[in-house]
Structure 1
Amino acid sequence: MKNRKKRSRILVYIVAYGLVAFMLIPIIWMFWVSFKPINSVVTVVSELLTPPYGVESYIRVQESSMIWRWTINSVFVAIIQTAGTLLFSSLAAFAISRIPFKGKTFVFLLILAGLMVPVEATVVPLFEMIVNLGWVNSYPALILPGIALPLGVLILKQFYDGIPNELMEAAKIDGANMFRIWWSIFLPLSRTSMAALAIFVFVQSWNNFLWPLLVANDQSMMTLPVAIPTFQSSFTTDLTVPMAANVLASIPALIFFLIFQKQIIKGVAMTGIK
């Protein structure tokens, strides 16, 4: 019986490591290609694996583009959008979960209805609003529309519903108001759920393409998903420069994962968000 379990566990590890290796192949290929000389043949394995190697592509990316400006834009937009989504989603979820008011069920159903509306259906009215406000090519245009996230309210509301009422009653006896209860009790207890939601929002904001493409037509305001494809149009016969740009663009996301690795694993394990 023990040998059987041991063989099953070994088989699971083999399959898991095999899947990891399979998913790492494109990333390894991207790094490898980025260090080949410009205009090298990278579609033939024998040519790809033979020297020379260098950093010419990275130099070209920095000299011919605003790669660091685009990176700063992406990082800033993703961080502010994540923080704003956590704040407003948490406040809305707390109000719906714990504060009695008329029409609470209707408000919650209205928020849930937002999950059924495709993003593409809201692009035109949102863009008209941004134009009327004069926010085209600005950070508010990139950040504010993404802060209202119905999924965030749903996730945190379900978590807040499970917190015992006795904690609120004890806090009220001690003289705490509703804001104090939210700040001192509900926020600390929902740390794992907030981390999972933060991961989801950060990745969604980092990879967002359609909305930044519409509201940021100035190069200085572009984010990485919008700016990176410009390399492929400028260097149509070469893959080394676009791959170098992709490597530089992936560094902030990699740093984010390394810093918050434990929170990411806990959040994914608890909520099932991928």
Structure 2
Amino acid sequence: METKKRLGFVSNYLLLIILGSLFALPFLYTIYTSFVTMQDVNKLSGFSNLTFQNYKLFFTNDAYNVPQWLINTVIMTALVILGNLIINPMAAFALAKLDFRGKKIVFWIVLGSMMVPYHMILIPVYVNVAQLGWLNSFAGLTVPFLYQSLYIFMLRQFFVTVPGEFIEAARLDGLTKMGAFWRIVYPLAKSSLITMSILAFAGTWNSYLIPSTLVSDPERYVLVVGLNSVKDAFFENTPLIMAGVVLTTLPILIFFFIFQKQYIEGISSSGVKG
């Protein structure tokens, strides 16, 4: 019986390793290709033939300002994540623990907005941003996205599971409702907040539709939009294109690997109770 368990354990891990390798192959190919010259594409080259020339070209060529695009992306992503870490938990806590008139209606509006594809409201968003004078600005790229209905719902499902006695005990100690939220309830949602941050980071860092619609000034491009313009100019330069793919993908992978444990905990604790 013990032998069967060990064989099952080993076979499961072997299967996971094989599947993981298959899923990793395309990205490994992308990384490899980004370090070779055009002549060595789709060929196996030695380490002596690998080069950083493609990445160097991105950061030194005056035809495209990759360093500025990278800074723009970092600022936009940081502001969006910060806003979501403040606004979404407050809204979720109100829907989970506070009693107010119209609470159910607001909750159903949140659920309903999750079912509307963003493409359907892109034109109204563009019109509003243009009327506010926020085109080609960080305000236009961040303010409309400082909250997300999906994350409000996800956090609300977690806050529902927090015992009300915690809040009542905090109130007895002299804290206000907001004080109880920030000092007691908010820290309990660490895993869910990290899960939300990872999703928000990936969605914002790789966002193309919104920045390409609201920004036309090349100096205000974010990385994905800027690299897409490079792709149009160097479509046949496969190693250069692959270097751009690595630049846009690697930060997300690093962010995920750092917080993967909390991400898994957040997924398992959010949305299972309501």
TM-score higher than 0.5: yes
Q: Is the 8 A contact 2:85 2:193 kept in 1?
A: yes
In structure 1, what is the equivalent of residue 12 of structure 2? 12
Superposition pairs of residues 38-117 of structure 1, within 5 angstroms = 39-43=38-42, 47-49=43-45, 52-64=49-61, 65-117=64-116
In structure 2, what is the equivalent of residue 22 of structure 1? 22
Residue 117 of structure 1 aligns to a residue whose secondary structure is coil
Alignment size in residue pairs: 269
Render the CA deviation track for 1:224-267: whole Å, top value 9, x for unaligned: 22122222211122111112222233343344234434433433
Superposition pairs of residues 241-256 of structure 1, within 5 angstroms = 241-256=240-255
Residue 228 of structure 1 aligns to a residue whose secondary structure is helix
Q: In 2 relative to 1, CA 181–272 (structure 1 residues): closer, same or farther, beyond 3 Å?
A: closer
Q: How does the TM-score come out when normalised to structure 2?
A: 0.91
1:3 is aligned to 2:3: yes
Structure 2 unpaired stretches of 5+: none
TM-fit CA distance, 1:83: 1.5
Q: Is the 8 A contact 1:96 1:104 kept in 2?
A: yes
Q: In 2 relative to 1, CA 272–250 (structure 1 residues): closer, same or farther, beyond 3 Å?
A: farther
Residue 267 of structure 1 aligns to a residue whose secondary structure is helix
Distance 1:269 1:167 in 2: 22
Residue 9 of structure 2 aligns to a residue whose secondary structure is helix
Q: Is the 8 A contact 1:228 1:245 kept in 2?
A: yes
Letter of the aligned partner of 1:143 in structure 2? T
Render the CA deviation track for 1:95-141: whole Å, top value 9, x for unaligned: 12222111111111111111111100110000000111111110011
TM-fit CA distance, 1:53: 2.5
Q: In 2 relative to 1, CA 96–272 (structure 1 residues): closer, same or farther, beyond 3 Å?
A: closer
Distance 1:112 1:48 in 2: 51
RMSD of the alignment, in Å? 1.9
Distance 2:78 2:136 in 1: 18
Choose 12-21 or 228-237, whichever is displaced more.
228-237
Distance 1:205 1:213 in 2: 13
Q: How does the TM-score come out when normalised to structure 1?
A: 0.91
Superposition pairs of residues 124-163 of structure 1, within 5 angstroms = 124-163=123-162
Distance 2:151 2:249 in 1: 25
Q: In 2 relative to 1, CA 49–271 (structure 1 residues): closer, same or farther, beyond 3 Å?
A: farther
Distance 2:58 2:146 in 1: 32
Distance 2:11 2:269 in 1: 26
Distance 2:73 2:145 in 1: 13
Distance 1:269 1:165 in 2: 21
Structure 1 unpaired stretches of 5+: none
In structure 1, what is the equivalent of residue 172 of structure 2? 173
Q: Is the 8 A contact 1:70 1:224 kept in 2?
A: yes
TM-fit CA distance, 1:269: 4.5
Residue 39 of structure 2 aligns to a residue whose secondary structure is coil
